[in-house]
Structure formats: structure tokens, C-alpha cells
Amino acid sequence: MADSRTWSHINPHVPTIARVYDYWLGGKDNFAVDRELAERFVQADPMVIEGVRSNRAFLQRAVRFLAGDMGIRQFLDIGTGIPTANNTHEVAQSVDPGCRVVYVDNDPMVLAHARALLTSVTAPTAYIDADARHTTRILAESGRVLDFGQPVAVMLIGLLHCIPDADDPASIVSELVRAVPPGSYLAISHPAADIHAGAMAEGAEAMNKSLTAPVTFRRFDDVVAFFDGLELAEPGVVATTQWRPDPGADTTPLPGWVGVARKPA
């Protein structure tokens, strides 16, 4: 759980995707090596910061939709990232203080923040230290907090690009969806290989030269395939800015595909 690893496990000399994203989001939990890599991506695609922040805004809209409109009261958020404002439990519990949330991540800096993050929760909320590939363990441990007899929202926000094709990300999604009952939801956001394609390819190349775990940006059809067998909520799989935007929001496409879908009976 949250304190299974400590700050002593954090290597400031090797960049991680979580700390790079933290830098793009304006956070302070990153090192020079993360900032250097993040800036190399910015040079390739100056809109990446806007895209990452748009992705974070999608998370908040999706949680509000699921908790507020769809009545979901349980969330399994895998690939949490370093905590920032308006985390899943904060948004969900602002709708209903009884919402239960389990976070999953395997970055030691993310886990180092877990205890402090969970001090003000209003309902059972927990962190699991696990790789997203270890679905059996994730489901077993999250079952201590979540009731898998009731609908669960599985949140894979900015995660699946960290799973290479060789590790079959579709099977990971399928295993998670099989474990939750009908009426549950799947929310995905994924960097797009086919929006700002040249810049995204250059950025991915820069990241993969430095990260110990490579990233894989995917095309529209690849992201749609993750929702096979599910009922996509309107407006389907769209660019990050175009999924149920707030009134007056800029909907210019940014390089990310997102969608939310329901598991049918």
C-alpha cells in the first residue's frame, strides 16, 4: 500500500514519465533530468504542455460525468501519476462524499505522496503499489476497498501508452473490464500518433532515448479498439478537448484520444 516504498527508492538521475508529466503540469516533484527530457519534447511539439493539461481536465470532466450523471460511486484509477489538484477522489467525493477510490501506480515518488494525499478523504480510499500489467494483484488488493458486485469506473488516464504492444495492452484492458459488473465504465485517454503526427513522433523518439520504459503513441483506430464490446458514451472517441467540453472551452484538437464507455448487461 501507500508506504511500501520510500523516498530512498527515488533515482534523481533517471527520468520517469510521472515526473516529466509533473513538470508539464507545473508541479515541483521532478528533477533536472526530468525537466531536460520534458523540454526536449516541448521543442518537438510546443503544444505538449497544453495537451497534458487538457488531459488532466478530461479526467475531471469524466469523473464528474461518471459520479454526477451516471451515479458511479467506485473508481479504480490505474496509472495515477504524481498528485496534483482535483485528483479523482477529490472530484468524485465532491459529488458524493461516499465515493470509494483506489489508486494504482508503481512510481516511488507517486507512492511517497500517498499518505499525505489520503489524510482528508471522506470515504475509503487507498493506493496500491503495482505495475498495471499485474491485473490479478490489482484486482485482489482493490477488492479490499471496492465492491466488485457494484459498478466500478476503471480509469486508465494517460496509462496505456506506457504499455508496449509486446505486452498486449488490449488484454490488460479486457481483464479489468471482465472483472467489473455490467453498468461499470471504462475511461481512457491516450496520446495520439495521428494528431500533430510529425511532432508527436519526434517527441516519442526523444523520450524513448531517455526513459527506461518506452512509450507508444497510438492512432485513433487503435484506441477505439480498447473499447470493444462496450457502449461508448457520447461523443465517442474524440480528441481530448472535444469530449463534453465545458461551456466556452477551446475545442481545437490536441494530440490525444479519449473516451468513456459502459459495460452492457
pLDDT digits (tens, 9 = 90+) for 163-180: 999 999 999 999 999 999
To the nearest 10 degrees (0 to 180), the angle between helices 17-24 and 48-64 is 90
Selection from 76, 73, 77, 115 nearest residue 97 by Cα: 73
Task: Write down the residue that cell numbers 455490467 correspond to.
Answer: 182
101, β-bridge pairs: 75, 125
Domains and CATH numbers, the chain: 11-262 (3.40.50.150)
pLDDT tens track, the chain, 265 positions: 334 444 456 788 888 888 888 888 888 888 999 999 989 888 888 888 898 899 999 999 999 999 999 999 999 999 988 777 688 999 999 999 999 999 999 887 787 776 667 666 788 888 899 999 999 999 999 999 999 999 999 999 999 999 999 999 999 999 999 999 999 999 999 999 999 999 999 989 988 988 888 899 999 999 999 999 999 999 999 999 999 999 999 999 999 999 999 999 9
137's grid cell? 494483484
pTM given for the model: 0.91
pLDDT digits (tens, 9 = 90+) for 200-211: 999 899 889 888
What is the C-alpha to C-alpha distance for residues 188 and 191, in angstroms, rounded to an integer? 10
DSSP 181: -
